[in-house]
Amino acid sequence: MTVRTRIAPSPTGDPHVGTAYVALFNYCFARQHGGSFVLRIEDTDSARSTAASEAMILDALRWLGLAWDEGPDIGGARGPYRQSERAEIYRAHAEQLLAQGDAFRCFATPEELETMRREQVARGETPRYDGRGLRLSAAEAEARAGRGEPHVIRMKVPGEGVCRISDRLRGEIDIPWAQVDMQVLLKADGMPTYHLANVVDDHLMGITHVIRGEEWINSAPKHQLLYRYFGWTMPELCHLPLLRNPDQSKLSKRKNPTSINYYRAMGYLPEALLNYLGRMGWSMPDEAEKFSLAEMLAHFDLDKVRLGGPVFDIGKLDWLNGRWIREDLDERAFADRVAEWAFNRQRLEPVVPLIKERIEKFTEIVPLAGFLFSGLPAHDEDAFVHRKLDKEDCVRILQFVSWRLDALDDWHRDRLFAAVEALAEPLGYKLRDLTAPLYVAIAGSPSAPPLFDAMALLGPDLVRARLRHALVHLGGPSKKQTKQWQKEFAALDPGPWPSVGGK
């Protein structure tokens, strides 16, 4: 058997370190067995998927040096590798299940399903789909579908008993069928859900080992059942432990930066980040802390992955990155890498318009624009307090701006300006006052080059991290304030931006 593994990111946001971690283990396993590593883009959620996110994910994985053998950018024998280009394949498979009697059409409207859920909750039951679509005869369902009535296709699920799935690291796991929903396979718009597309593609793309995060364990019964309905052999499953924050909670961007772009912008070396991810749940036989991708490949053993939640600790990553810089970069390589990181024409030229009119000598460049090339500024708390704003005002402003910018994906100067300006009136500040704490949070001082241009140049990762850093520094909002402000924020006219409330 030729091993084939895959990473299947959904392009709905920033390239996540968790994606790189799972990609790394899939990559090592495939390479080690002389197999192939496939990159597939799972973009069936058309409302949330973007081409920009896909491009960033590919770019981030490439930067890390995790090369794939087949993918949307390079093609391959089993493409297309973007699910949005495979709609017909999923539809045909959903219809096959309908014809076999393993799936059914459901015409319930979203409102009807909402009422059903509310009634279940009122009766003290766990809300779940009650199988109402099954009461329709096949002939009637076909007739209604023929008339073009909107509906979804759901899979049938056994009403009782236990589903036993097998996981390479965990052994057998029993999940009662009562906990498994009659999953929607094909949505009313004709697009598949994750479950159908994922199973069909893993099969058609010849994937032999599904190595993914443990958050997908609960999906495995549905997947196993789909393999059975189709009469296909299921790939071996291996669920990797989830990365955690130092407080053991699931790694989340509220507590730690999770975007690979952040680590890249902060000046980490890709080999150090990859090395650190390789230590998440796995270690070298000699427990060496520093190792290259080639060394990891030579010793990797999927069966030795430990299940305890590996902690992604930035302090440890810093230490490791320092070692890589000191031990592996000679002067030439160091200079090359720094130039590649930020000191190159491409990065410097856009800075020129921000500083040219403000300096008389080149020696003023670093004091004025150094913040564009630094990490998180050391703040002086007093610097935030402005003639018209006390500390609470500053926290409130930074929090609202932070929420507003979380939802902004087009990081253009004018969009940034419009997003922040739109907050001034509802929050009751003049724009001039509102931007004062932003200058301090982002540029480290109240006098700096134009704020919005600087934010555009710094990019979303560093700006968001600096806002979060300033909020933490100022003691952040209390729980009560957060609740109250979230309500206020949700009530704001979202303008051309999606509201962050539901995120």
Kindly list the residues in this chain that would bind ligand GLU in the complex (CB under 6 A): 8-10, 42, 194, 198, 212, 216
| 152-155, strands of its sheet edge to edge | 103-106, 152-155, 184-186
CA 272 from centroid of its chain's CA atoms? 21
- Answer for the pair 490, 501: CB distance below 8 angstroms, yes or no: yes
Find residue 389's DSSP bridge partners. Answer: 386
- Answer for the pair 80, 54: CB distance below 8 angstroms, yes or no: no
Backbone dihedral angles phi then psi of residue 164, each to the nearest 5 degrees: -105, 120
Give the contacts of 166 (CB within 8 A, at least 6 positions apart).
Answer: 172, 173, 236, 237
One of 187, 222, 250, 253 is an active-site residue; which one? 253
Cα distance between residue 503 and residue 496, in whole Å: 16
Find residue 50's DSSP bridge partners. Answer: none
- Answer for the pair 291, 268: CB distance below 8 angstroms, yes or no: no
Nearest CA among 159, 171, 9 for reference residue 83: 9
Q: Which two tokens stand for residue 475?
A: 């003691």
Cα distance between residue 255 and residue 157, in whole Å: 38
- Answer for the pair 497, 408: CB distance below 8 angstroms, yes or no: yes
Cα distance between residue 315 and residue 494, in whole Å: 37
Nearer to ligand GLU, 219 or 374 (CB): 219
Specify whether 483 is catalytic. Answer: no
Nearest CA among 349, 451, 356 for reference residue 401: 451
CB of 116 to ligand GLU, least distance (A): 28
Give the contacts of 121 (CB within 8 A, at least 6 positions apart).
Answer: 127
Residue with tokens 């402005």: 386
C-alpha gyration radius of the chain: 26
Backbone dihedral angles phi then psi of residue 166, each to the nearest 5 degrees: -120, 130
Helix (H, G, I), strand (E, B) or coil at 181: coil
- Answer for the pair 264, 60: CB distance below 8 angstroms, yes or no: yes
CA 221 from centroid of its chain's CA atoms? 24
Please provide the distance, in angstroms rounded to a whole number, between the alpha carbons at the two ends of the chain. Answer: 42
Nearer to ligand GLU, 6 or 466 (CB): 6
Q: What are the catalytic residues?
A: 253
